[in-house]
Amino acid sequence: MSYLPNPVIDVTVMNPAILERRSGAWVNGDNNPFTSALSLTSVGRHYIDIHVQTSMVQGQPALPNDGGPTDRLEWGSAGSLETASENLLPHHGFTRFFRADIINQPSHICEGDWFLGGAANQYIERGRRPRRMTGYLTHYEEIWEHIPVQPVRTGTTNLSIVLIVCTRTARGMVIRTAHVCQGILRVNDEVTVERWCWKPRGSPSSRSGSWERVLRLGRLYLPCHLAMEAERWPLRKGSRLEFDNLAWHVEEVDAFIWGAPGHYLTWTVDRDLPGLFELHMWS
């Protein structure tokens, strides 16, 4: 793939967002089009990025969903987004993915630039990250597309939820952005990833529906249900919840109203003070 250098954009102003990869290639020419890649970012700039090989075998589901081996997990990372403004031209919008690759060593960092794509709501990412097949940092180029959010049960308001666990032997994160939820957890050398989507009944704006798991690899427990059922659970920022002897911390409980990519009305949800919101306009 080759594109003219479009203006560099600051990916941190795109949060919250649901981004789906449309194509990608390594600089040496290797290309695996049979990959499902979805990246979620929260209001507070946390992110989860999961790439899984899809099956082309007739009669088999495209994505693994039975918690089997993680051989088909190409890439899994979680962390926070930050722009290094000290970089001079031409890459003034440099974006670094901190606390990146949960699958590899903590010192591994994925970093890249984001450019405006040729189509509406599309972006080009050029950067480098550890390649699982080799373990070496390798340059890549990918095309991502914004996925419009769908409200869940609430009509127009969307939730942004983040849960984090970080101990000597375990690291993980769960993010829900509107109608999509992803989780990733590593305990010692064992890894589990999940992806869930809200499926409305009837029209896309229907308040009735259910959450459906569309991806699972590994056998560890991920508390995705807490984020998915946040409209019903008394979930509060700063709370601590324990599952399988792991203490998960509620890092974010925010709400937002969808606008054009990069334009959102967001506010912090405080369960103790209903109706009192801290307003932010992202532009």
Does the pLDDT of residue 26 top 70, yes or no?
Answer: yes
For residues 141 and 25, the answer to whether their CB atoms sit within 8 Å is yes
Average pLDDT rounded to a whole number, residues 192-209:
82
Decide which of 215 and 201 is more confident: 215
- Where residue 214 falls among pLDDT bands split at 50, 70, 90? very high
Does the pLDDT of residue 250 top 90, yes or no?
Answer: yes
Q: How many angstroms separate the first and last alpha carbons of the chain?
A: 30
CA separation for the pair 123, 197 (Å, rounded): 23
Specify the CATH number of the domain 8-146. Answer: 2.40.128.320
The closest of 279, 245, 283 to 261, measured between CA atoms, is 283
For residues 150 and 41, the answer to whether their CB atoms sit within 8 Å is no
Does the pLDDT of residue 181 top 90, yes or no?
Answer: yes
- Where residue 84 falls among pLDDT bands split at 50, 70, 90? low
- Where residue 271 falls among pLDDT bands split at 50, 70, 90? very low
- Where residue 252 falls among pLDDT bands split at 50, 70, 90? very high
Q: What ranges do the domains of the chain cover?
A: 8-146, 157-282
Q: In this predicted model, what pLDDT tens digit does every residue of 121-161 receive, in sequence order? A: 778 788 777 776 776 778 888 888 888 888 787 666 788 99
Helix (H, G, I), strand (E, B) or coil at 228: helix
Question: Which class is 157-282 in CATH?
Answer: mainly beta
pTM recorded for the entire structure? 0.79
pLDDT at 198: 93
Domains 8-146 and 157-282 are alike in CATH topology: yes
**Which value, to the nearest 10 degrees, does the dihedral of the CA atoms of residues 79, 81, 85, 90 take?**
110
Q: Which backbone phi and psi does 227 adopt, to 5 degrees?
A: -70, -40
Decide which of 275 and 3 is more confident: 3
On the CB side of 30, CA atoms within 13 Å amount to 9
